[in-house]
A and B are shown apart, each in its own frame.
Chain A
Protein backbone atom coordinates (compact mmCIF):
# COMPACT_ATOMS: atom_id res chain seq x y z
CA UNK A 1 0.00 0.00 0.00
CA UNK A 2 1.16 3.48 -0.78
CA UNK A 3 0.98 4.88 2.71
CA UNK A 4 2.69 1.95 4.34
CA UNK A 5 5.55 3.31 6.38
CA UNK A 6 6.85 0.18 8.02
CA UNK A 7 6.32 -3.40 6.99
CA UNK A 8 7.50 -6.21 9.18
CA UNK A 9 7.30 -9.59 7.53
CA UNK A 10 8.02 -12.90 9.19
CA UNK A 11 10.48 -11.31 11.63
CA UNK A 12 12.52 -13.86 13.52
CA UNK A 13 15.20 -12.74 15.93
CA UNK A 14 17.71 -15.02 17.50
CA UNK A 15 19.77 -14.20 20.57
CA UNK A 16 23.34 -15.30 20.99
CA UNK A 17 22.33 -18.15 23.23
CA UNK A 18 20.19 -19.55 20.47
CA UNK A 19 16.90 -18.40 21.97
CA UNK A 20 14.39 -17.07 19.49
CA UNK A 21 13.12 -13.79 20.93
CA UNK A 22 10.39 -13.59 18.34
CA UNK A 23 9.36 -15.89 15.57
CA UNK A 24 7.57 -15.03 12.36
CA UNK A 25 6.09 -11.73 13.46
CA UNK A 26 4.40 -9.73 10.72
CA UNK A 27 2.51 -6.43 10.77
CA UNK A 28 2.38 -3.04 9.13
CA UNK A 29 2.40 0.53 10.27
CA UNK A 30 0.86 3.17 8.02
CA UNK A 31 1.29 6.89 7.94
CA UNK A 32 -0.68 8.63 10.61
CA UNK A 33 -1.29 5.41 12.46
CA UNK A 34 -0.61 4.42 16.02
CA UNK A 35 0.10 0.73 16.34
CA UNK A 36 0.35 -0.97 19.70
CA UNK A 37 2.30 -4.08 20.52
CA UNK A 38 0.89 -5.90 23.50
CA UNK A 39 1.99 -9.00 25.31
CA UNK A 40 2.92 -10.37 28.68
CA UNK A 41 6.36 -10.04 30.19
CA UNK A 42 8.86 -11.79 28.00
CA UNK A 43 6.45 -12.14 25.12
CA UNK A 44 8.86 -10.52 22.70
CA UNK A 45 7.75 -6.89 22.51
CA UNK A 46 11.18 -5.46 23.13
CA UNK A 47 12.74 -7.97 20.81
CA UNK A 48 10.41 -6.92 18.03
CA UNK A 49 11.31 -3.30 18.58
CA UNK A 50 14.98 -4.15 18.57
CA UNK A 51 14.58 -6.09 15.35
CA UNK A 52 13.15 -3.01 13.70
CA UNK A 53 15.40 -0.31 15.11
CA UNK A 54 18.66 -2.16 14.63
CA UNK A 55 19.38 -2.13 18.35
CA UNK A 56 20.50 -5.72 18.12
CA UNK A 57 24.19 -6.20 17.96
CA UNK A 58 24.96 -4.92 21.43
CA UNK A 59 22.42 -7.42 22.74
CA UNK A 60 24.01 -10.23 20.81
CA UNK A 61 20.97 -10.67 18.60
CA UNK A 62 20.33 -11.01 14.86
CA UNK A 63 17.40 -11.04 12.56
CA UNK A 64 17.74 -14.48 11.08
CA UNK A 65 14.65 -14.52 8.99
CA UNK A 66 12.14 -12.09 7.55
CA UNK A 67 12.27 -8.54 6.32
CA UNK A 68 11.81 -5.15 7.81
CA UNK A 69 10.94 -2.51 5.25
CA UNK A 70 10.79 1.14 6.14
CA UNK A 71 9.67 3.73 3.58
CA UNK A 72 10.36 1.24 0.85
CA UNK A 73 13.88 0.42 1.99
CA UNK A 74 14.92 -2.87 3.43
CA UNK A 75 16.43 -2.13 6.81
CA UNK A 76 16.82 -5.66 8.09
CA UNK A 77 19.93 -5.97 10.24
CA UNK A 78 20.89 -2.41 9.39
CA UNK A 79 23.06 -0.31 11.64
CA UNK A 80 21.04 2.00 13.90
CA UNK A 81 22.43 5.22 12.47
CA UNK A 82 21.40 4.25 8.98
CA UNK A 83 17.93 3.38 10.15
CA UNK A 84 17.76 6.62 12.05
CA UNK A 85 18.75 8.61 9.01
CA UNK A 86 15.61 7.38 7.25
CA UNK A 87 13.50 8.98 9.95
CA UNK A 88 12.95 6.18 12.41
CA UNK A 89 13.60 6.97 16.03
CA UNK A 90 13.31 4.44 18.79
CA UNK A 91 13.13 5.13 22.51
CA UNK A 92 14.54 1.93 23.93
CA UNK A 93 13.37 0.14 27.02
CA UNK A 94 14.85 1.04 30.39
CA UNK A 95 15.41 4.77 30.22
CA UNK A 96 18.32 4.89 27.89
CA UNK A 97 19.87 8.30 28.29
CA UNK A 98 23.44 9.57 28.46
CA UNK A 99 23.95 9.54 32.20
CA UNK A 100 27.05 11.71 32.10
CA UNK A 101 25.64 14.42 29.87
CA UNK A 102 23.41 17.19 31.14
CA UNK A 103 19.73 17.27 30.31
CA UNK A 104 20.28 19.98 27.72
CA UNK A 105 23.17 18.06 26.16
CA UNK A 106 21.07 14.92 26.02
CA UNK A 107 18.57 16.82 23.96
CA UNK A 108 21.32 17.89 21.60
CA UNK A 109 23.20 14.62 21.31
CA UNK A 110 21.54 13.75 18.06
CA UNK A 111 22.61 13.44 14.47
CA UNK A 112 21.62 15.27 11.32
CA UNK A 113 17.92 14.73 11.77
CA UNK A 114 17.71 17.06 14.73
CA UNK A 115 15.28 19.91 14.37
CA UNK A 116 16.77 23.37 13.86
CA UNK A 117 15.82 26.98 13.95
CA UNK A 118 12.22 27.90 14.70
CA UNK A 119 11.11 24.30 14.71
CA UNK A 120 13.60 23.58 17.44
CA UNK A 121 12.22 26.34 19.61
CA UNK A 122 8.75 24.93 19.03
CA UNK A 123 9.77 21.39 19.90
CA UNK A 124 11.63 22.47 22.99
CA UNK A 125 8.63 24.41 24.12
CA UNK A 126 6.52 21.32 23.59
CA UNK A 127 8.91 19.13 25.57
CA UNK A 128 9.11 21.53 28.49
CA UNK A 129 5.38 21.97 28.41
CA UNK A 130 4.87 18.23 28.54
CA UNK A 131 7.54 17.74 31.17
CA UNK A 132 7.99 21.02 33.03
CA UNK A 133 10.56 19.50 35.41
CA UNK A 134 13.02 18.99 32.61
CA UNK A 135 13.00 22.71 32.00
CA UNK A 136 14.05 23.29 35.58
CA UNK A 137 17.03 20.95 35.52
CA UNK A 138 18.56 21.62 32.10
CA UNK A 139 22.06 21.78 33.52
CA UNK A 140 21.75 18.70 35.73
CA UNK A 141 23.55 15.52 34.73
CA UNK A 142 20.94 13.14 33.41
CA UNK A 143 22.22 10.27 35.52
CA UNK A 144 21.18 12.16 38.64
CA UNK A 145 17.56 12.51 37.62
CA UNK A 146 14.86 10.41 39.22
CA UNK A 147 13.69 7.34 37.37
CA UNK A 148 10.66 9.02 35.91
CA UNK A 149 12.55 12.12 34.96
CA UNK A 150 14.97 10.00 32.97
CA UNK A 151 12.09 8.45 31.12
CA UNK A 152 10.79 11.92 30.31
CA UNK A 153 14.17 12.85 28.95
CA UNK A 154 14.33 9.75 26.79
CA UNK A 155 10.98 10.63 25.26
CA UNK A 156 12.00 14.26 24.95
CA UNK A 157 15.00 13.25 22.89
CA UNK A 158 12.73 11.48 20.45
CA UNK A 159 10.69 14.62 19.93
CA UNK A 160 13.84 16.55 19.00
CA UNK A 161 14.10 14.78 15.64
CA UNK A 162 10.55 14.95 14.30
CA UNK A 163 10.69 11.29 13.36
CA UNK A 164 8.64 9.76 10.57
CA UNK A 165 8.18 6.71 12.73
CA UNK A 166 8.49 6.95 16.47
CA UNK A 167 8.91 3.74 18.41
CA UNK A 168 8.54 3.93 22.15
CA UNK A 169 9.15 0.85 24.26
CA UNK A 170 7.42 1.01 27.64
CA UNK A 171 6.42 4.61 27.24
CA UNK A 172 4.95 5.28 30.66
CA UNK A 173 7.45 3.15 32.53
CA UNK A 174 7.95 4.81 35.91
CA UNK A 175 5.92 7.87 34.98
CA UNK A 176 3.39 9.26 37.36
CA UNK A 177 -0.18 8.64 36.20
CA UNK A 178 -0.87 12.34 35.90
CA UNK A 179 1.53 12.36 32.98
CA UNK A 180 -0.05 9.49 31.12
CA UNK A 181 -2.89 11.38 29.58
CA UNK A 182 -0.89 14.29 28.25
CA UNK A 183 1.63 11.84 26.90
CA UNK A 184 -0.92 9.78 25.05
CA UNK A 185 -2.37 13.00 23.72
CA UNK A 186 1.05 14.00 22.50
CA UNK A 187 1.42 10.69 20.76
CA UNK A 188 -1.87 11.24 19.02
CA UNK A 189 -0.78 14.68 17.97
CA UNK A 190 2.38 13.26 16.45
CA UNK A 191 0.42 10.69 14.51
CA UNK A 192 -1.99 13.32 13.30
CA UNK A 193 0.81 15.18 11.56
CA UNK A 194 1.33 12.22 9.27
CA UNK A 195 4.03 10.46 11.22
CA UNK A 196 3.36 7.11 12.81
CA UNK A 197 3.92 5.70 16.25
CA UNK A 198 4.67 2.15 17.30
CA UNK A 199 3.85 1.87 20.94
CA UNK A 200 4.66 -0.64 23.61
CA UNK A 201 3.12 0.17 26.95
CA UNK A 202 2.00 -1.51 30.09
CA UNK A 203 -1.18 0.53 30.46
CA UNK A 204 -3.14 -1.51 28.02
CA UNK A 205 -6.33 0.49 28.34
CA UNK A 206 -4.85 3.80 27.33
CA UNK A 207 -2.80 2.19 24.64
CA UNK A 208 -5.75 0.51 23.02
CA UNK A 209 -7.68 3.75 23.22
CA UNK A 210 -5.18 5.72 21.17
CA UNK A 211 -4.04 2.97 18.85
CA UNK A 212 -5.77 2.12 15.61
CA UNK A 213 -4.15 -1.24 15.24
CA UNK A 214 -2.89 -3.73 17.71
CA UNK A 215 -0.54 -6.69 17.65
CA UNK A 216 -0.76 -9.10 20.55
CA UNK A 217 2.31 -11.23 21.08
CA UNK A 218 2.51 -14.38 23.07
CA UNK A 219 5.59 -16.48 23.53
CA UNK A 220 7.36 -14.75 20.67
CA UNK A 221 4.59 -15.15 18.13
CA UNK A 222 1.65 -13.09 17.01
CA UNK A 223 -1.24 -14.38 19.07
CA UNK A 224 -3.73 -11.98 17.61
CA UNK A 225 -3.73 -8.81 15.53
CA UNK A 226 -6.34 -6.40 14.28
CA UNK A 227 -8.04 -3.08 14.86
CA UNK A 228 -7.79 -2.00 18.47
CA UNK A 229 -11.53 -1.86 18.82
CA UNK A 230 -11.57 -5.63 18.48
CA UNK A 231 -9.42 -5.92 21.54
CA UNK A 232 -11.12 -3.67 23.96
CA UNK A 233 -12.81 -5.90 26.47
CA UNK A 234 -12.00 -8.98 24.43
CA UNK A 235 -11.61 -12.43 25.90
CA UNK A 236 -8.77 -13.20 23.54
CA UNK A 237 -6.77 -10.39 25.02
CA UNK A 238 -7.14 -11.72 28.50
CA UNK A 239 -6.19 -15.18 27.36
CA UNK A 240 -3.17 -14.01 25.45
CA UNK A 241 -2.08 -11.81 28.21
CA UNK A 242 -2.46 -13.78 31.34
CA UNK A 243 -2.14 -17.12 29.69
CA UNK A 244 -5.36 -19.01 30.36
Chain B
Protein backbone atom coordinates (compact mmCIF):
# COMPACT_ATOMS: atom_id res chain seq x y z
CA UNK B 1 0.00 0.00 0.00
CA UNK B 2 -0.46 3.43 1.00
CA UNK B 3 2.85 3.93 2.68
CA UNK B 4 5.07 3.97 -0.34
CA UNK B 5 5.31 7.73 -0.31
CA UNK B 6 8.32 7.41 1.88
CA UNK B 7 10.29 4.29 1.18
CA UNK B 8 12.64 3.18 3.91
CA UNK B 9 15.66 2.43 1.83
CA UNK B 10 17.80 5.52 2.03
CA UNK B 11 19.09 4.93 5.54
CA UNK B 12 21.16 2.11 4.17
CA UNK B 13 24.63 2.57 2.75
CA UNK B 14 26.74 5.29 4.28
CA UNK B 15 29.91 4.74 6.23
CA UNK B 16 30.27 2.53 9.27
CA UNK B 17 29.90 5.50 11.53
CA UNK B 18 26.40 6.44 10.51
CA UNK B 19 23.75 5.08 12.91
CA UNK B 20 20.92 2.76 11.96
CA UNK B 21 17.64 4.66 12.25
CA UNK B 22 14.88 2.78 14.04
CA UNK B 23 11.31 4.04 14.48
CA UNK B 24 8.99 3.25 17.33
CA UNK B 25 5.26 3.54 17.82
CA UNK B 26 3.19 2.40 20.76
CA UNK B 27 -0.10 2.74 22.59
CA UNK B 28 1.22 5.35 24.95
CA UNK B 29 -2.25 6.59 25.78
CA UNK B 30 -5.69 5.04 25.89
CA UNK B 31 -7.07 1.85 27.36
CA UNK B 32 -4.21 -0.43 26.33
CA UNK B 33 -1.45 1.88 27.50
CA UNK B 34 -1.30 0.55 31.08
CA UNK B 35 -0.05 -2.75 29.68
CA UNK B 36 1.64 -2.24 26.39
CA UNK B 37 3.25 1.17 26.84
CA UNK B 38 5.92 -0.44 28.99
CA UNK B 39 7.30 -2.18 25.94
CA UNK B 40 8.77 1.21 25.08
CA UNK B 41 10.93 1.17 28.20
CA UNK B 42 12.19 -2.27 27.23
CA UNK B 43 13.12 -1.13 23.72
CA UNK B 44 14.84 1.95 25.00
CA UNK B 45 16.75 0.19 27.76
CA UNK B 46 18.07 -2.50 25.46
CA UNK B 47 19.06 -0.12 22.67
CA UNK B 48 20.83 2.22 25.06
CA UNK B 49 22.72 -0.76 26.43
CA UNK B 50 23.57 -2.02 22.96
CA UNK B 51 24.85 1.41 21.96
CA UNK B 52 26.93 1.74 25.10
CA UNK B 53 28.45 -1.66 24.38
CA UNK B 54 29.62 -0.39 21.00
CA UNK B 55 26.55 -0.73 18.90
CA UNK B 56 26.03 -3.25 16.13
CA UNK B 57 28.54 -3.84 13.36
CA UNK B 58 30.35 -0.79 14.66
CA UNK B 59 27.34 1.39 14.07
CA UNK B 60 25.08 2.94 16.67
CA UNK B 61 21.31 2.52 16.66
CA UNK B 62 19.37 5.76 16.60
CA UNK B 63 15.97 5.08 18.18
CA UNK B 64 13.51 7.81 17.31
CA UNK B 65 11.07 9.18 19.87
CA UNK B 66 8.04 6.98 20.32
CA UNK B 67 4.92 7.92 18.40
CA UNK B 68 1.61 7.52 20.19
CA UNK B 69 -0.92 5.20 18.57
CA UNK B 70 -3.50 6.23 21.20
CA UNK B 71 -4.99 2.76 21.48
CA UNK B 72 -7.18 3.51 18.47
CA UNK B 73 -6.97 2.31 14.87
CA UNK B 74 -6.91 5.87 13.56
CA UNK B 75 -4.15 6.83 15.96
CA UNK B 76 -2.19 3.75 14.97
CA UNK B 77 -2.54 4.63 11.30
CA UNK B 78 -1.17 8.09 11.80
CA UNK B 79 1.62 6.71 13.94
CA UNK B 80 2.54 3.97 11.49
CA UNK B 81 2.63 6.40 8.58
CA UNK B 82 4.82 8.71 10.56
CA UNK B 83 7.13 5.84 11.47
CA UNK B 84 7.40 4.68 7.87
CA UNK B 85 8.03 8.28 6.85
CA UNK B 86 11.11 8.40 9.05
CA UNK B 87 12.74 5.96 6.62
CA UNK B 88 13.97 3.58 9.31
CA UNK B 89 15.80 0.33 8.90
CA UNK B 90 13.28 -1.26 11.24
CA UNK B 91 10.11 -0.34 13.09
CA UNK B 92 9.46 -1.29 16.69
CA UNK B 93 5.87 -1.57 17.85
CA UNK B 94 4.31 -1.82 21.27
CA UNK B 95 0.57 -1.63 20.73
CA UNK B 96 -2.33 -3.99 21.31
CA UNK B 97 -3.24 -6.34 18.52
CA UNK B 98 -6.23 -4.40 17.19
CA UNK B 99 -4.06 -1.39 16.44
CA UNK B 100 -1.48 -3.59 14.83
CA UNK B 101 -4.08 -5.15 12.60
CA UNK B 102 -5.35 -1.77 11.50
CA UNK B 103 -1.95 -0.77 10.17
CA UNK B 104 -1.33 -4.00 8.30
CA UNK B 105 -1.67 -2.36 4.91
CA UNK B 106 0.65 0.51 5.81
CA UNK B 107 3.33 -1.89 7.01
CA UNK B 108 2.87 -4.18 4.07
CA UNK B 109 3.30 -1.28 1.70
CA UNK B 110 6.57 -0.29 3.32
CA UNK B 111 7.93 -3.82 3.76
CA UNK B 112 10.18 -2.56 6.53
CA UNK B 113 11.17 -5.04 9.21
CA UNK B 114 8.65 -4.72 12.02
CA UNK B 115 9.32 -6.05 15.50
CA UNK B 116 6.13 -5.93 17.47
CA UNK B 117 5.19 -6.78 21.01
CA UNK B 118 1.71 -8.12 20.19
CA UNK B 119 0.77 -10.83 17.78
CA UNK B 120 -1.85 -10.50 15.15
CA UNK B 121 -3.32 -13.97 15.52
CA UNK B 122 -2.32 -14.76 11.99
CA UNK B 123 -5.46 -13.20 10.62
CA UNK B 124 -5.10 -9.58 9.75
CA UNK B 125 -1.50 -9.90 8.81
CA UNK B 126 -0.85 -13.37 7.48
CA UNK B 127 2.73 -14.33 8.34
CA UNK B 128 4.81 -11.87 6.40
CA UNK B 129 8.55 -11.92 5.75
CA UNK B 130 9.08 -8.58 7.49
CA UNK B 131 6.93 -9.20 10.56
CA UNK B 132 8.25 -10.48 13.93
CA UNK B 133 6.52 -10.70 17.29
CA UNK B 134 7.11 -11.53 20.95
CA UNK B 135 3.60 -12.78 21.72
CA UNK B 136 2.11 -16.08 20.72
CA UNK B 137 -1.09 -16.24 18.75
CA UNK B 138 -4.19 -17.62 20.42
CA UNK B 139 -4.12 -21.08 18.80
CA UNK B 140 -0.59 -21.57 20.07
CA UNK B 141 -1.46 -20.22 23.50
CA UNK B 142 -4.49 -22.49 23.68
CA UNK B 143 -2.22 -25.43 23.02
CA UNK B 144 -0.03 -24.30 25.90
CA UNK B 145 -3.04 -24.22 28.22
CA UNK B 146 -4.10 -27.65 27.16
CA UNK B 147 -0.58 -28.94 27.79
CA UNK B 148 -0.43 -27.31 31.22
CA UNK B 149 -3.77 -28.74 32.27
CA UNK B 150 -2.79 -32.15 31.00
CA UNK B 151 0.44 -31.91 32.97
CA UNK B 152 -1.60 -31.17 36.11
CA UNK B 153 -4.28 -33.84 35.68
CA UNK B 154 -2.25 -36.49 33.95
CA UNK B 155 -4.79 -36.72 31.16
CA UNK B 156 -7.59 -34.66 29.66
CA UNK B 157 -9.66 -37.65 28.76
CA UNK B 158 -12.82 -37.91 30.85
CA UNK B 159 -12.05 -34.74 32.78
CA UNK B 160 -14.34 -31.80 33.39
CA UNK B 161 -12.76 -28.49 32.54
CA UNK B 162 -14.52 -25.20 33.32
CA UNK B 163 -13.66 -22.09 31.36
CA UNK B 164 -14.29 -18.50 32.42
CA UNK B 165 -13.30 -15.63 30.15
CA UNK B 166 -13.67 -11.96 29.74
CA UNK B 167 -16.04 -11.37 26.85
CA UNK B 168 -13.36 -9.69 24.76
CA UNK B 169 -12.44 -11.04 21.37
CA UNK B 170 -8.87 -11.92 22.37
CA UNK B 171 -9.75 -13.87 25.50
CA UNK B 172 -12.60 -15.63 23.78
CA UNK B 173 -10.21 -16.77 21.04
CA UNK B 174 -7.94 -18.44 23.64
CA UNK B 175 -10.92 -20.09 25.28
CA UNK B 176 -12.38 -21.33 22.01
CA UNK B 177 -9.04 -22.88 21.14
CA UNK B 178 -8.77 -24.60 24.50
CA UNK B 179 -12.32 -25.91 24.26
CA UNK B 180 -11.58 -27.55 20.93
CA UNK B 181 -8.38 -29.16 22.23
CA UNK B 182 -10.04 -30.42 25.42
CA UNK B 183 -12.88 -31.96 23.48
CA UNK B 184 -10.49 -33.46 20.95
CA UNK B 185 -8.58 -35.09 23.80
CA UNK B 186 -11.74 -36.71 25.15
CA UNK B 187 -12.40 -34.19 27.92
CA UNK B 188 -15.53 -32.17 28.58
CA UNK B 189 -15.90 -28.43 28.97
CA UNK B 190 -18.39 -28.48 31.79
CA UNK B 191 -18.99 -24.72 31.92
CA UNK B 192 -18.01 -22.04 29.49
CA UNK B 193 -18.83 -18.65 30.99
CA UNK B 194 -18.23 -15.23 29.52
CA UNK B 195 -18.05 -12.09 31.65
CA UNK B 196 -18.53 -8.39 31.22
CA UNK B 197 -15.42 -6.22 31.63
CA UNK B 198 -16.49 -5.20 35.14
CA UNK B 199 -18.13 -7.64 37.50
CA UNK B 200 -18.46 -7.35 41.22
CA UNK B 201 -19.84 -10.75 42.09
CA UNK B 202 -19.24 -14.25 40.86
CA UNK B 203 -21.25 -16.11 43.45
CA UNK B 204 -24.01 -17.32 41.13
CA UNK B 205 -21.61 -18.48 38.48
CA UNK B 206 -19.37 -20.22 41.00
CA UNK B 207 -22.40 -22.12 42.22
CA UNK B 208 -23.27 -23.12 38.69
CA UNK B 209 -19.74 -24.29 38.00
CA UNK B 210 -19.64 -26.38 41.15
CA UNK B 211 -22.77 -28.25 40.10
CA UNK B 212 -20.62 -29.88 37.41
CA UNK B 213 -17.64 -30.69 39.66
CA UNK B 214 -14.80 -29.54 37.41
CA UNK B 215 -11.36 -31.11 37.67
CA UNK B 216 -9.49 -28.03 36.49
CA UNK B 217 -10.29 -24.54 35.36
CA UNK B 218 -9.08 -21.86 33.05
CA UNK B 219 -9.82 -18.23 33.87
CA UNK B 220 -8.77 -15.66 31.35
CA UNK B 221 -9.94 -12.36 32.74
CA UNK B 222 -8.77 -9.01 34.10
CA UNK B 223 -6.97 -8.84 37.42
CA UNK B 224 -9.94 -7.52 39.38
CA UNK B 225 -12.37 -9.99 37.89
CA UNK B 226 -9.93 -12.83 38.41
CA UNK B 227 -9.60 -11.99 42.09
CA UNK B 228 -13.38 -11.97 42.54
CA UNK B 229 -13.80 -15.18 40.60
CA UNK B 230 -11.14 -17.11 42.46
CA UNK B 231 -12.56 -15.99 45.80
CA UNK B 232 -16.10 -16.95 44.82
CA UNK B 233 -14.97 -20.33 43.54
CA UNK B 234 -13.13 -20.99 46.75
CA UNK B 235 -16.16 -19.97 48.80
CA UNK B 236 -18.24 -22.34 46.72
CA UNK B 237 -15.92 -25.18 47.63
CA UNK B 238 -13.69 -25.46 44.61
CA UNK B 239 -10.21 -26.72 45.50
CA UNK B 240 -8.66 -27.70 42.16
CA UNK B 241 -6.12 -25.83 40.07
CA UNK B 242 -7.03 -22.66 38.23
CA UNK B 243 -4.99 -21.70 35.19
CA UNK B 244 -5.12 -17.96 34.74
CA UNK B 245 -4.61 -15.62 31.82
CA UNK B 246 -1.72 -13.44 30.77
CA UNK B 247 -3.61 -10.33 31.83
CA UNK B 248 -3.71 -11.53 35.45
CA UNK B 249 -0.25 -12.74 36.29
CA UNK B 250 1.14 -9.91 38.39
CA UNK B 251 2.36 -10.28 41.95
CA UNK B 252 -0.66 -8.59 43.52
CA UNK B 253 -3.08 -10.93 41.79
CA UNK B 254 -1.07 -14.00 42.73
CA UNK B 255 -0.98 -12.84 46.34
CA UNK B 256 -4.65 -11.95 46.48
CA UNK B 257 -5.85 -15.20 44.96
CA UNK B 258 -3.61 -17.13 47.31
CA UNK B 259 -4.95 -15.15 50.29
CA UNK B 260 -8.45 -16.06 49.21
CA UNK B 261 -7.42 -19.69 49.32
CA UNK B 262 -7.53 -20.55 45.64
CA UNK B 263 -4.92 -22.59 43.78
CA UNK B 264 -4.42 -19.99 41.12
CA UNK B 265 -1.58 -19.96 38.62
CA UNK B 266 -0.73 -16.99 36.48
CA UNK B 267 1.12 -17.66 33.23
CA UNK B 268 4.14 -15.56 32.45
CA UNK B 269 5.49 -15.51 28.93
CA UNK B 270 8.68 -13.88 30.03
CA UNK B 271 10.60 -13.45 33.22
CA UNK B 272 10.35 -10.03 34.71
CA UNK B 273 13.48 -8.27 35.90
CA UNK B 274 14.12 -8.67 39.60
CA UNK B 275 16.18 -6.45 41.81
CA UNK B 276 19.83 -7.34 41.52
CA UNK B 277 19.79 -8.92 38.09
CA UNK B 278 21.38 -7.55 34.96
CA UNK B 279 18.23 -6.31 33.29
CA UNK B 280 17.07 -4.53 36.42
CA UNK B 281 20.44 -2.79 36.61
CA UNK B 282 20.25 -1.76 32.98
CA UNK B 283 16.70 -0.46 33.41
CA UNK B 284 17.82 1.51 36.42
CA UNK B 285 20.82 2.88 34.61
CA UNK B 286 18.83 4.14 31.66
CA UNK B 287 15.89 5.43 33.68
CA UNK B 288 13.28 2.80 32.89
CA UNK B 289 12.97 1.11 36.21
CA UNK B 290 9.28 2.00 36.45
CA UNK B 291 8.56 0.17 33.21
CA UNK B 292 10.73 -2.74 34.25
CA UNK B 293 8.73 -3.11 37.44
CA UNK B 294 5.48 -2.95 35.52
CA UNK B 295 5.99 -6.42 34.13
CA UNK B 296 6.12 -8.54 31.12
CA UNK B 297 5.75 -6.01 28.32
CA UNK B 298 9.02 -4.43 29.30
CA UNK B 299 10.63 -7.81 28.88
CA UNK B 300 9.06 -8.29 25.48
CA UNK B 301 10.41 -4.98 24.26
CA UNK B 302 13.80 -5.69 25.74
CA UNK B 303 14.08 -9.06 24.05
CA UNK B 304 12.82 -7.78 20.71
CA UNK B 305 15.49 -5.11 20.71
CA UNK B 306 18.15 -7.76 21.16
CA UNK B 307 16.50 -9.73 18.40
CA UNK B 308 16.93 -6.68 16.21
CA UNK B 309 20.59 -6.63 17.16
CA UNK B 310 20.93 -10.28 16.17
CA UNK B 311 19.24 -9.56 12.86
CA UNK B 312 21.46 -6.57 12.12
CA UNK B 313 24.52 -8.61 12.92
CA UNK B 314 23.42 -11.35 10.59
CA UNK B 315 22.68 -8.74 7.95
CA UNK B 316 26.10 -7.17 8.05
CA UNK B 317 27.60 -3.69 8.16
CA UNK B 318 25.88 -2.35 5.12
CA UNK B 319 22.54 -3.67 6.13
CA UNK B 320 19.61 -1.62 4.88
CA UNK B 321 15.85 -1.79 5.19
CA UNK B 322 15.61 -3.99 2.11
CA UNK B 323 18.08 -6.60 3.28
CA UNK B 324 17.08 -6.83 6.90
CA UNK B 325 13.91 -9.01 6.76
CA UNK B 326 15.69 -11.97 5.26
CA UNK B 327 18.54 -11.70 7.75
CA UNK B 328 16.10 -11.32 10.59
CA UNK B 329 14.36 -14.58 9.79
CA UNK B 330 17.66 -16.35 10.30
CA UNK B 331 17.93 -15.11 13.90
CA UNK B 332 16.73 -18.40 15.30
CA UNK B 333 18.77 -17.81 18.42
CA UNK B 334 18.55 -14.54 20.30
CA UNK B 335 20.53 -13.90 23.44
CA UNK B 336 20.48 -10.91 25.68
CA UNK B 337 22.27 -9.97 28.88
CA UNK B 338 20.16 -11.54 31.63
CA UNK B 339 18.06 -13.64 29.26
CA UNK B 340 14.40 -13.33 30.18
CA UNK B 341 12.93 -16.35 28.39
CA UNK B 342 11.79 -19.58 29.99
CA UNK B 343 13.57 -21.51 27.30
CA UNK B 344 15.64 -20.76 24.28
CA UNK B 345 14.57 -17.57 22.51
CA UNK B 346 14.59 -17.27 18.77
CA UNK B 347 12.18 -16.78 15.94
CA UNK B 348 10.13 -19.72 14.88
CA UNK B 349 10.41 -20.30 11.17
CA UNK B 350 6.70 -20.51 10.42
CA UNK B 351 5.24 -17.59 12.33
CA UNK B 352 8.20 -15.49 13.45
CA UNK B 353 7.37 -15.62 17.14
CA UNK B 354 10.29 -15.03 19.47
CA UNK B 355 8.82 -16.68 22.51
CA UNK B 356 9.15 -20.45 22.83
CA UNK B 357 8.02 -21.35 26.34
CA UNK B 358 5.66 -20.20 29.04
CA UNK B 359 5.73 -20.66 32.82
CA UNK B 360 2.90 -20.73 35.34
CA UNK B 361 3.45 -19.00 38.66
CA UNK B 362 1.69 -19.18 41.99
CA UNK B 363 2.17 -17.31 45.25
CA UNK B 364 4.56 -18.70 47.79
CA UNK B 365 3.21 -17.57 51.14
CA UNK B 366 6.34 -18.49 53.02
CA UNK B 367 8.71 -16.33 51.04
CA UNK B 368 6.11 -13.72 50.07
CA UNK B 369 7.17 -14.07 46.45
CA UNK B 370 5.79 -15.63 43.31
CA UNK B 371 7.02 -19.14 42.68
CA UNK B 372 7.18 -21.18 39.50
CA UNK B 373 4.77 -24.11 39.43
CA UNK B 374 5.60 -27.12 37.29
CA UNK B 375 7.75 -27.04 34.21
CA UNK B 376 7.87 -24.37 31.52
CA UNK B 377 5.33 -25.22 28.86
CA UNK B 378 6.90 -25.40 25.43
CA UNK B 379 5.07 -23.67 22.67
CA UNK B 380 6.89 -25.11 19.72
CA UNK B 381 5.91 -28.51 18.46
A and B touch in the complex (CB under 8 A): no
| Residue positions of B touching A, CB distance < 8 A | none
